[in-house]
């Protein structure tokens, strides 16, 4: 596989990695909250915008490609936060399988 050239100086966004924490609600379900487990620099690239109509209103889904230094602890259900902006991690991959970087495909969640 070909090596990926990436300038780490492009990592200008400070992000927090958050993991879900389930708290039993006493009725057999759970309340999900998130706790910060790491903070790091990353690069955010907008990828696409999808417009759908739901109940007569326009709903937009924004996707982003987020580059960060390689980590072993990324799991399904985690998210990235930049201030009030929240990015749900959908998939992630090591672009050249060398363990230098991860590329996460994320959807921005409305807050």
CA angle 66, 61, 13 (to 5 degrees): 25
Strands (E), 25-84: 30-54, 57-69, 79-82
Residues of the chain with pLDDT under 50: none
Every domain of the chain and the residues it spans: 10-109
Distance, CA of 13 to CA of 68 (rounded, Å): 10
Q: What global pTM score does this model have?
A: 0.84
For residue 70, the model assigns a pLDDT of 95
For residue 1, the model assigns a pLDDT of 56
Domain 10-109 of CATH type 2.40.10.270: yes
Three-state SS at 106:
strand
For residue 22, the model assigns a pLDDT of 93
Cβ neighbour number for residue 91 with a 10 Å cutoff: 9
For residue 3, the model assigns a pLDDT of 64
């Amino acid at each position: 596989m070909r090596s990926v050239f990436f300038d780490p100086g492009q990592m200008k966004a400070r992000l927090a990695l958050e993991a879900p924490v389930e708290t039993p609600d006493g009725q057999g379900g759970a309340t999900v909250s998130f706790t910060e487990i790491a903070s790091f620099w990353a690069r955010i690239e907008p990828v696409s915008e999808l417009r759908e109509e739901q109940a007569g209103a326009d709903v937009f889904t924004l996707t982003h490609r987020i580059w960060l230094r390689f980590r072993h602890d990324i799991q399904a259900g985690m998210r990235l936060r930049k201030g009030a902006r929240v990015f749900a991690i959908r998939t992630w991959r090591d672009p050249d399988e060398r363990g230098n970087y991860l590329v996460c495909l994320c959807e921005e969640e409305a807050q």
